[in-house]
Amino acid sequence: EAFPEAHLQIAQIYFSEGHLNKSARSYEQVVRFDPENAAAHNNLGYVYKRLGDLDRAGRSYERAVAVDSSFAEAYNNLGQVYKAQGRSDKAIDVFRRAISVQSDFFGAYVNLARVYQMENKPQEEADIWRSYADRFGLADRYSAYARERLLDLAERTAASE
């Protein structure tokens, strides 16, 4: 048990120092020794993404959610990879999955709305912001942002008509 924990700490240190290749190698050691470590797969995906290797990042995030189907952050990260690869339908699916496992995951709402904006689907984008604002109400710290996005979207839509 000390082996993967040591490599996990080493990977984190390398990452914090900007040594991404060394960090990736250490995370690779962790997941080889402990393939059920969803957090290590997620972190390895993040390192690969920072290295510009979206394919490997995507595979790492896919493995993270295969190990832990309730890992909202990994779904969100996977969605970001799909979005960057131009795979909007898959991005939408996994952002929705992130929200379904963690309904207050604001980042997943933002990312989902951005995909709809990128795809020029203003109604779907508005539905996401409205859904968040309605679900969490005025007491939530992000609802004001969601309502602001709705107003901006209404203005953009009116200006294009």
The model's pLDDT over 37-92, given as tens digits with 9 standing for 90+, comes to 999 999 999 999 999 999 999 999 999 999 999 999 999 999 999 999 999 999 99
Q: 0.85 exceeded by the pTM?
A: yes
Q: Which two three-digit tokens encode residue 21?
A: 């290749």
Helical axes 122-136 vs 106-118, angle rounded to 10°: 160
Q: Which two three-digit tokens encode residue 88?
A: 């909007």
pLDDT in tens, 19-42: 999 999 999 999 999 999 999 999
**Helices H / strands E in the chain, number of each:** 9, 0
Q: Quick check: helix, strand or coil at residue 42?
A: helix
User: Using CA atoms in the order 43, 48, 51, 55, what is the torsion angle rounded to 10 degrees?
Assistant: -150
